[in-house]
Amino acid sequence: MQMLHSLLLLLLLLTTEEGWGKPCMKIGILGEFKTATGKTTSPFGIDIRNGVSLGIQRLKRSGEAVCFEPVEIDINNSISNIPDLIRRAVTQDNVRLFLGLGTSDQALMAADALRDTKSILITPTASSEALVGPAKREIMMFPRNSRIAETMARESWRQGHRAVAIISAANSKYSSDMAENFALALKRQGGRIVEYISTHNADLDAADVERIRVAKPDAIFMPLFELDVVRVLSLLDSSRYMPIIIGTDSWGNTSEIIREMARNISFRAILPRIYSTDLKTTENLSLMQLAKDAKRYKIGDLSAFSYEGVLLYNKMLKTCGGIEKVVGAPQDCLRKSLPFQATTGTIASTSFLSLNRPIQIRTLVGRQ
């Protein structure tokens, strides 16, 4: 009996934070785990969960980690479910830290519930300007739209593309916001928007292409999602009119879908590079090794920044002295927790709760 009691005590110590009798810190993993969101090809929640799992493994190997317990919360592919799910997780499961909600629309829907429950959310890829502000509780791991648009406008100007047309999707808040931010940024550089076409799902026709042709742009800015990008590229190709294309992060960090579906189309595009698996930073090399050891994880920006989110929560909890300090003053705590070693390099500053992550430029070339 004494031996059984000792074994149970040892098990308890091993499953609590650092063996000091405190329960593991719960992280609510918010996402869709069964069906895909919008125009994506797989449920975002799976990539988020994989990133969190690898982040927890990384911390365990470091020997200095807070004990984290992931709590999977499926939003069932509906943003209307998010507020109630957050409130229920706080009251029933004592979750105060959340990670997930990869789109801006999802993260925005969480705002009231996070405020009411005095909780915080790390969103790996949401980028809306509406998430930035002094009273917000959403930590943005991804660069916000205005920084991406500014980067692409500067690159457009640097490459000599000063007269630009825009094709955006009227039914996408992301697309319209990015188009507006790019137009303002290009004008600040001294450039001009010579044509602006905004249609539902970027469903262009021959007349739209002719409007662009008449405007004679140096380039076309296309803040569209992958399937819409392919549709527009195909129409431009069939019209035998293909200027330089300027894309955004919505094309995907590897653009695999576009590469495959547009493999017979001749085009050249410049894109922002937010994340890449071949980065040689210490943290990305650690992530790649963990993913290799797991033998089942395919890494992209969503999983990489979810991985980082676990590491950031760990640093905030240790830097600021516990959960109440973190959720009580998240912006102050985040500022104290910098610099932060991310997969893309050192992050040394923020705009409120938006991390100022470095943005690079890459080129995507279609059929030669």
3-state helix, strand, coil in the chain (%, to 5): 50, 20, 35
- Per-residue pLDDT at 186: 97
Per DSSP, the three-state class of 354 is: strand
Q: What is the dihedral of CA 249, 250, 256, 259, to 10 degrees?
A: -100
Q: d(Cα 106, Cα 114) in Å, to the nearest integer?
A: 13
Whether the link from the prior residue into 339 is cis, omega within 30° of 0, is yes
The helix-helix angle for 44-62 and 301-320 (nearest 10°) equals: 40
Give residue for tokens 């000091």. Answer: 20
Number of H helices, E strands in the chain: 14, 15
Choose among 256, 271, 269, 265: nearest CA to 236: 265
Residue 89 has pLDDT above 60, yes or no: yes
Backbone angles phi, psi at 114, to 5 degrees: -65, -45
pLDDT-wise least confident of 57-66, 192-201, 215-224, 233-242 = 57-66
Q: What is the pLDDT of residues 277-294, one digit of tens each?
A: 999 999 999 999 999 999
- Per-residue pLDDT at 257: 84
pLDDT band with cut points at 50, 70 and 90 for residue 44: confident
Choose among 172, 88, 104: nearest CA to 138: 104
Q: What is the mean pLDDT of residues 348-362?
A: 95
Displacement of CA 13 from its chain's centroid (Å):
36
- Per-residue pLDDT at 20: 34
Q: What is the mean pLDDT of residues 110-120?
A: 98
Q: What is the pLDDT of residues 244-266, one digit of tens each?
A: 999 999 998 778 889 888 889 99
Is there a contact between 164 and 191 (Cβ–Cβ < 8 Å)?
Answer: yes
Q: What is the pLDDT of residues 160-174, one digit of tens each?
A: 999 999 999 998 888
Specify the higher pLDDT residue, 62 or 231: 231
Q: What is the mean pLDDT of residues 322-351?
A: 97
Q: d(Cα 37, Cα 41) in Å, to the nearest integer?
A: 8
Q: What is the pLDDT of residues 7-20, one digit of tens each?
A: 443 443 344 444 43
Choose among 169, 163, 167: nearest CA to 186: 163
Q: d(Cα 298, Cα 100) in Å, to the nearest integer?
A: 17
- Per-residue pLDDT at 201: 76
Average pLDDT, the chain: 90
Displacement of CA 111 from its chain's centroid (Å):
17
Residue 41 has pLDDT above 80, yes or no: no
% residues pLDDT > 70 (the chain): 92
pLDDT band with cut points at 50, 70 and 90 for residue 38: low
Residue 177 has pLDDT above 80, yes or no: yes
Specify the higher pLDDT residue, 194 or 199: 194
- Per-residue pLDDT at 37: 66
Q: d(Cα 321, Cα 207) in Å, to the nearest integer?
A: 61
Per DSSP, the three-state class of 272 is: strand
